[in-house]
Amino acid sequence: MHEQVASRIGVTSITVIIPDFFRASTLIAHKFFFLRGAIMNDERYEKAELRSFKPHTEECCKPCPKPPARNCLIRFTPLQADIFEELLDDLIASIQPAFSPPMGPLPSVFKVLQNLFKSMSLSLRDQADLFAATELPITAYEQSEGWSTALIAATQTALTELYALSLLACVSGPVKDGWVIRIREAETNLAGIENLVPPVIFGTLLAFNGGSSIAHLKYLSGLPNLGVIVGSDFISESIPVISLSSVGVSTALFPNTNYAFSMPQAATITAFSAGFIPGDITIEGGSVSIQAQLCRASPSAAPDAFFEPVPGAVIPMSPTLTGNISGFSCAGSLTGLNIPLDAEDRFIILFTASSTGANVSPTTISGTIGANLTLELPNFEILETIVLPFAGATLLDLDYATTNGAPTSSGVIGFGLSESIPSSPGQSLTLNPSFTPFSTSVPQGGVITSVAVYFGVPANTVITGNGFLNIEVMLYRFVAPDMTASPIPDFAIQMPGLATGTYPDGSPGIHAIATDLNIEIGPNDRVLLVFTASFSGSIGSTNSVTGSASGGIAVSALPNNQDDLADSPSLPTAIPIEEELL
């Protein structure tokens, strides 16, 4: 391939040695030293504008009239051109200080490139060159601790081979220019990365991990169709999503899919990262891209209102996936963010997938998911602020007495679990043992400083009688394995009353926040939110209300290893699965 490139750029007096697939890397280094100087000094690409021609057409995949067609040696189909451009973008995103080897998506990017090469009409020699050049950085990356000199050299080898491939591609001049400028941008990222220090990210870490649960992400006509919300060692079922904005996708939380938590105080997002490990499948007829995003709804929004993507908090993960993806992983990271979040706003982290190609198979990709969200919150002297999320998942049923309107049941919520328990006001509650993994203790203990809560009724809810339905929220705590939860004294939030009548679709939820609190909790205490309903006035024919409940608690605590706050790692867990098509 490189003899052909040398001829094209007018160099005929240099003999290029083409190594076998397993030949020593020193020969490869000499070969690419020549190519780097020859190709990169081509001023034509200094002025190229980074544009995308996706989806590529047959016209894009014809050779440009200059240089002559005899230099058009490597054919691309429009779909292969789409995938190649996506993978070049993935190279740029993967060669970053935020990814420190051996952790990061770069090996998977090169593995997907190898899948692409298998699908192309390449000579055995060209295919061997490309496989040899891309296999070197895969091995070096997985064996390195940080960006070593050997890894950088191996990655440069692969980038130079991709230059050669781009220059010999049978595509139009503008498409070729776009590819070359992308490769040069990846090389710019690579230059000097050995001496760069990964960014140190300060702040409160919110770890979201689906554990071993399998997320099923569906796409139709190239667009996301079903997404999944990630929690703490749990995920939601697959839920419908829709593209309502240019930023990302949106979703509505219908009854029994309430996984949104409330911010207990204002904060700023400083970093956001996410990962996806697919199952053992083969993607044919196109490519699939994974995306993670933070979505927000206002505290007064209806429980089934759309959660919209937060601008700047959308992660396109690398690499784009095609071919056999067994053992691959996708990742993305955003640092240096400055995205404000308002107190009481409700949030979810949503994973979706999209595709390139008209006949992609399968139409669902499954795997494990995880994400980290770093927040800058006000700290007090040597203390740090920790956020505990709460979301009931399923609807709460809250009952009250027909005689005096007093509460006769309690709705308990952790993060991803809820339960309605018959009770009297203020009494201890015997919990389902399942609440242990759906609650969190704070290492070293701490002080609760603020609590935000939300409650919304489903569409067409009818509250009968003449008066107001009142929702009150208390804090309970328990110490596992003892599943008896006791109320924390001298604390309750009285939410705005719900008037009698019918609540149509889109009726706003009610919300409240308590700040400047000073409630001590011990290192083994697990805190829960407990909702109750009472009625003031003349009670009608019904004496219960059903609704979605969520919240958030801010705790000031002594600094501790943030990893201890999660019961499991925030990265997704790699496990073998059978692909289940939806």
Number of Cβ atoms within 10 Å of the Cβ of 22:
8
Q: How far apart are CA 556 and CA 454, in angstroms?
A: 22
Provide CB contacts within 8 A for 490, sequence distance 6+.
none
- Alpha carbons within 13 angstroms on the beta-carbon side of residue 147 total 23
pLDDT of residue 298: 95
Low pLDDT (below 70) residues in the chain: 1-51, 59, 62-72, 194-202, 245-246, 379-382, 559-582
- Encode burial over 493-531: b for 16+ CB neighbours within 10 A, e otherwise: bebebbebeebeeebebbbbbbeebebebeeebbbbbbb
The DSSP-derived string for 490-523 is T--EEPPPEEEEEE-TTPPPEEEEE-S--EEE-T
Hey, do 204-377 and 386-558 end up sharing a CATH topology, with the first three levels equal?
yes
pLDDT of residue 442: 86
Q: What pTM value is reported for the model?
A: 0.83
Q: Which amino acid is at 381?
A: E
Distances (CA, A) of 373 to 7, 17, 97, 205, 333: 51, 49, 18, 6, 10
> Residue 225 — left, alpha, or beta (φ > 0 → left; ψ -120 to 50 → alpha)?
alpha
Token pair recorded at residue 35: 């190519």
Q: What is the dihedral of CA 338, 342, 347, 353, to 10 degrees?
A: -30
pLDDT of residue 543: 94
Give the 3-state secondary structure of residue 132: helix
Q: At what angle do helices 78-94 and 106-119 cross, to 10 degrees?
A: 160
Q: Which helix (H) or strand (E) holds 31?
A: helix 25-40
Q: Beta partners for 388?
A: 553
Q: How far apart are CA 375 and CA 357, in angstroms?
A: 38
Residue that the structure tokens 């090996």 belong to: 107
Distances (CA, A) of 370 to 12, 229, 232, 275, 461: 53, 10, 9, 5, 35
Q: What is the pLDDT of residues 27-71, one digit of tens each?
A: 233 333 334 333 334 444 444 456 677 777 776 776 655 555 555
Provide CB contacts within 8 A for 121, sequence distance 6+.
75
Q: For 204-377, which CATH class?
A: mainly beta
Architecture of domain 386-558: Sandwich (2.60)
Q: At what angle do helices 149-167 and 124-143 cross, to 10 degrees?
A: 150
> Residue 43 — left, alpha, or beta (φ > 0 → left; ψ -120 to 50 → alpha)?
alpha
Residue 425: which of 513, 494, 487, 491 has the closest Cα? 487
Domain ranges of the chain: 2-195, 204-377, 386-558
Give the 3-state secondary structure of residue 320: coil
- For the chain, how are helix, strand and coil distributed in percent, rounded to 5? 20, 40, 40
Task: Read off the DSSP letter of residue 529.
Answer: E
Provide CB contacts within 8 A for 318, sequence distance 6+.
89, 90, 93, 94, 105, 108, 109, 330, 331, 332
Q: How far apart are CA 290 and CA 224, in angstroms?
A: 10
Q: What is the dihedral of CA 277, 281, 283, 284, to 10 degrees?
A: 170
pLDDT of residue 204: 82
Cα 137–Cα 23–Cα 31 angle in degrees, nearest 5: 75
